[in-house]
A = this chain, B = another copy of it.
Amino acid sequence: MSIEAAVTELRKALGERFATSGAMLQVHGQNEAHFPETLPDGVAFPETTEEVARIVRTCAAHGCPIVPWGTGTSLEGNALPFDGGITLDLSRMDKVLAVHAEDMDAVVQPGVTREALNTELRATGLFFPVDPGANASLGGMAATRASGTTAVRYGTMRENVLALEVVLADGRIIRTGSRARKSSSGYDLTRLMIGSEGTLGIITELTLRLQGQPEAVSAAICRFDDIRGAVDTVIQTIQMSVPIARMEFVDAMTARGFNLHADAGLPEAPHLFLEFHGSESAVAEQAETVAGLAHENGGADFQWSVRPEERTRLWKMRHGVHYAMLALQPGFKPVVTDICVPISRLADAVAETRADIDASRITGAVVGHVGDGNFHTSLLTEPGNEDDMRTALDLAKRMNDRALRMGGTITGEHGVGRGKIRYMAAEHGEAWDVMAQIKRTLDPQNILNPGKVVQIG
């Protein structure tokens, strides 16, 4: 393998669209979690699928690692080039290629961000529902099988991608899926690529399923005395099949973070943040049902509103949660966890996790897409403090063990990246070997985002 030869060749081929400046390498060596800076040897900015294919063929010829990069917001070191090589920055492939309003689908390049897409869709009465909070790229979101606040109603990237164009490790360009809503035509390569984190191919185009903008939207917030009351409200809402659009839990520590970061003026207690989509009457009916459940579970101060300003304020606050948590200890770095359990185990999982953090030496906050059984902690560590890091990683390990014990998964939405790889054997057993078999078949040289998701060699 020769990274150097690939760098030389790509510089010649791409000119100013191949960067090796220190600043540019640094931008692509960062992450929003606790992984140390990890620099690539060069950053390529392709503009077309054919160009991606050419870059991949060059890297293949030299056995040079190639790591796709969307907006770099992933939290498990997913886009960091731990083995060096080329970072493939897809931000210049940022065109919405087609909106088929009648069919409720859109065709986009991978560098389009979800906010850019939704801005472009506004006039059509449609929207793309998957919302990870961060303004991530749609390619990155597909690659991590992202979801977020709205998955409880609209599903994850798995349910909302119809078709892909993908460049494989040997430079072949394939199309998976079609614009049909459903198909039984052969192996589901679309779903195989979704969640593969750039290890099986580079996504160069996505056909996305869109939703109609709801006639009415209302948001609500409700405070609880304890975690269990909040989580039980969630469980009952799901069991009653209320088609709730968002259902987010924050614990008391997170509420404190919102107060520090966004001057939120929240009581420092557990809260649920809710959103309802539907017709005017459906939205009112849903809110009433959930208010009733909340009340029975000790919820207080259930406030709901159809006013867009209040909704925007609520979700802006919620989307800033990552930074609100960091505000609890400025300068500290987060170890972010991401387990997902069957909903009947959710109250236990959250309560045990909260107690575990409370008994430790570090600060941590809990927040969750609880309608799906998915929640995160941000475990704050002082840079360079090894005791902090050990404690955080140990808490994370206990969370992951807990998730598996409860029949859940170590990652509900952030992906495996580098951070979770040590748990893959425990979660999947021999199925992890099967993943490696597939990786070896499609990328025999192990050049596509090596060291992530599976372990080769």
Chain A residues engaging chain B, CB cutoff 8 angstroms: 100, 102-105, 144-147, 151, 155-156, 158-159, 168, 172-176, 178-189, 191-192, 194-196, 200, 211-212, 214, 235, 238-241, 243, 279, 281-282, 285, 338, 340-344, 372-374, 403, 407-416, 420, 424, 427-432, 434-435, 437-442, 453-454
Contacts and interface: CB of A to CB of B under 8 A. Distances in A.
Given A189-B434, A282-B282, A408-B178, A102 B184 contact: no
- Residue with the greatest number of chain B CB neighbours at <10 A, chosen from A155, A181, A432, A442: A181
A102 to B, nearest CB: 4
Nearest to A423: B185
B195 A187 contact: yes
Contacts of A341: 180
A434 B194 contact: no
A184 B239 contact: no
Contacts of A195: 184, 186-188
A215 B375 CA distance: 30
Contact of A285 (B189, B281, B409): B281
A185 B431 contact: no
B442 A411 contact: no
11 contacts: A151-B182, A155-B159, A179-B342, A180-B342, A182-B340, A182-B413, A183-B409, A186-B453, A187-B196, A188-B195, A281-B281
Given A212-B241, A424-B186, A373 B180 contact: yes
A162 to B, nearest CB: 9
Given A182-B372, A411-B183, A437 B428 contact: no
Contacts of A344: 100, 102-103
B432 A186 contact: yes
B428 A185 contact: yes
A427 to B, nearest CB: 6
A196 B186 CA distance: 6
A344 B103 CA distance: 6
Contacts of A176: 428, 431
